């Protein structure tokens, strides 16, 4: 099953249980990043994640924002600067910028 199919299946399962979730989509990439535009991830209210929007470095922060989006019902555009020396100091190897759109689903 493709990653997008897994994401949509997770959305369907979550909503069929009457639970909330947020859909995260990479909408713009500047420079180097592990994933390109269109990459998707879903986060449910129990903090389960399906799909990936980066090489693993953004998912936990995006999950926190996704929980806020579920609570408020207000979508948001979040921008990340992946310059690892300035942000994390972890040597992640992706000095680009990524914009993700996080929208509530209920």
pLDDT tens track for 26-47: 999 998 888 899 999 999 999 9
pLDDT at residue 90, rounded to an integer: 52
Tell me the residue range of the domain where 61 lies: 3-105
* pLDDT one-digit tens code per residue, 66-81: 999 999 999 999 999 8
- How many structural domains comprise the chain? 1
| DSSP, residue by residue, the chain | --HHHHHHHHHHHHHHTT--EEEEEEEEEES--SS-TT-EEEEETT--EEE-SSSSSSHHHHHHHHHHHHHH---EEEEEE--HHHHT-S--S---EEEEEEEEE-
């Amino acid at each position: 099953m493709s990653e997008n199919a897994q994401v949509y299946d997770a959305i369907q399962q979550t909503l069929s249980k009457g639970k909330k979730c947020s859909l995260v989509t990479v909408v713009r990439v500047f420079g180097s990043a592990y994933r390109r535009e269109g990459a998707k991830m879903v986060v449910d209210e129990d903090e389960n994640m399906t799909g990936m929007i980066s090489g693993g470095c953004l998912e936990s922060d995006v999950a926190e924002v996704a929980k806020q989006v579920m609570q408020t019902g207000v979508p948001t555009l979040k921008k990340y600067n992946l310059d690892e020396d300035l942000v994390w100091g972890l040597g992640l190897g992706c000095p680009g910028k990524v914009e993700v759109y996080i929208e509530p689903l209920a």
